[in-house]
Every structure is written in structure tokens, then in C-alpha cells.
Amino acid sequence: MKLHWLCATKNKHDEEYIQKSLCELNVFLKRPPTKIEINIKPLSVGTAKKVNLILEKGVFNKKKYPVHEGQSMKCKYINSPLIELYENINSLSDCMPLVIYCDPSSNIAKAIKKTNKIAEWGLSTLKQISAVYEKGNKYIIWHEVLHLFGVHDCYDIENPNGPLKCELAKCLMQYAPQEGNVAPWPFLCKGNIKRLKSV
């Protein structure tokens, strides 16, 4: 399994933080019960420049897309800035799946939050691309990255702060994972461990 990452904040500390957080996640995943390893690498310099340009200049949320897995079935079509971003960068190189660490004030973060009220800290889509815009919270990074490998949310999107839908009280795949409310490893419920191993 592979994962590319991009720090789009232009802050050296942020770049070190996401790299360290992803490496820490990988250390956990190598252990039982998952015993998997993700080949994690930053985008190449050339691709990173192109993606950063798209992120800086892009005005997202122009298109409507059919509802996909994980979205509310109340509507037939959704505005999805993240799908739009994926369409803009997927042809650049073999850079998917990709996690982008960006500022909360970035174009993509603002567009996502405008169209998806529960995506306060990050979002993943199509098992191909994630955007994380909650700074300094490795659990949000891990949560969104694991979506790229088939792991599901354990909360009800209609009631995100309600009870979890799994057996693990402090599952990483809760609505707002953070220091103090995530179980020690293995911090995934049995269903998500099974999904992850099947990938």
C-alpha cells in the first residue's frame, strides 16, 4: 500500500509534523492485529509545485456530483470541492492516494466547510484524496488517511456527536478524535481492522 502526502502550508514545522504523524501511524499499523505497512512518501517537487498552484489559485465548488458512499442520501447530488480537486490533480502523476495538510483558511478548506457542515477538520473522498485542515491534531490526520484504505466512520452523519456505531468506546473513527478520547493501539474497532486487513 502506498500513500503520498503534501504539506500545503509553507511552514517547515507543519511539514515535519505531518511527516512525523504519518510515520507514527505506520509504526502502529505494522503491529498486530493489522500487520500492514504503508509506503509513505512526499509528492515529488515538481508535482508538489503544480498541486500547490492549483490549491492557491483554485476556486472550488463549481460542480455538482452524484452522491457517493458516506454522504447523506437525502440529496441526489452534492457540491464536492474535494472531488473537484481530485479531478484537477489526478492526471499530474501517479500520486494517489494523497493526503494534503493545509491551513484552515485555505481555499480548499473553506470550500469544503461551506458545502459539508460536519467536515470541520478534514475530509476524504473516493478512497483517493484527503484534506486535513485541523492543525496539530495527529488523530484527525490518521482518521482521514485511514479512510483512503477503506476504513469507515463509526459515527452517524445525521448525529455526529451521538453514540458510536461500533463496540470500541474510544475508536479513532469517531467524529472528533483528539488527545484523551482515542484508545491506545489498537484504536480501531473490529470491523475497521477487518476492512483494513482486507485491503
Report if residue 38 sits inside a domain. Answer: yes
Query: What percent of the chain clears pLDDT 90, i.e. is strictly above it?
Result: 76
Residue 182 lies in a domain: no
Residue 48 falls within a domain, yes or no? yes
CA gap 85, 58 in Å, rounded: 8
Locate 62 and state its grid cell.
463549481
Query: In 3D, which of 193, 98, 119 has the Cα closest to residue 151?
Result: 193
Of 38-42, 52-56, 72-76, minimum mean pLDDT range: 72-76
CA distances to 9, 106, 145, 160 from 169, rounded to whole Å, are: 33, 33, 21, 14
pLDDT band for position 91 (50/70/90)? confident
- Residue 185 falls inside a structural domain: no
**Residues 6 or more apart from 59 whose CB is under 8 A from it?**
107, 111
Average pLDDT, the chain: 91
CATH number of the domain encompassing residue 29? 3.40.390
Domain assignment of residue 68, yes or no: yes
pLDDT confidence of residue 199: 82
CB 145 within 8 A of CB 22: yes
CB 131 within 8 A of CB 85: yes
- Is 147 domain-assigned? yes
Residue 2 bridge partners (DSSP):
39
pLDDT per position as a tens digit, 151-191: 999 999 889 999 999 999 999 999 999 999 999 999 999 99
Closest CA to 112 of 152, 58, 159, 66: 58
pTM of the model: 0.91
In a domain, 163, yes or no: no
How many structural domains is the chain composed of? 1
Res. 75: pLDDT tops 70: no
**Residue 53 pLDDT more than 70?**
yes
- What mean pLDDT comes out for the span 30-56? 95
Indicate if the pLDDT at residue 67 is higher than 90.
Answer: no
Whether pLDDT at 54 is above 70: yes
Lowest mean pLDDT among 3-7, 114-118, 173-177: 114-118
**Cell triple for 120:** 470541520
* pLDDT band with cut points at 50, 70 and 90 for residue 2: very high
Q: What is the pLDDT of residue 114?
A: 87
Q: Residues 113-124, buried b or exposed e (16+ Cβ, 10 A)?
A: bebbebbbbbbb
DSSP collapsed to 3 states, 56-125: HHCCCCCCEEECCCCCCCCCCEEECHHHHHHHHHCCCCCCCCEEEECCCCCHHHHHHHHHCCCCCCEEEE
Cell of 56: 492557491
What's the pLDDT score for residue 175?
Answer: 96
Structural domain boundaries, residue 25? 2-152
Per-residue pLDDT reduced to its tens digit, 120-143: 999 999 899 999 999 999 999 999
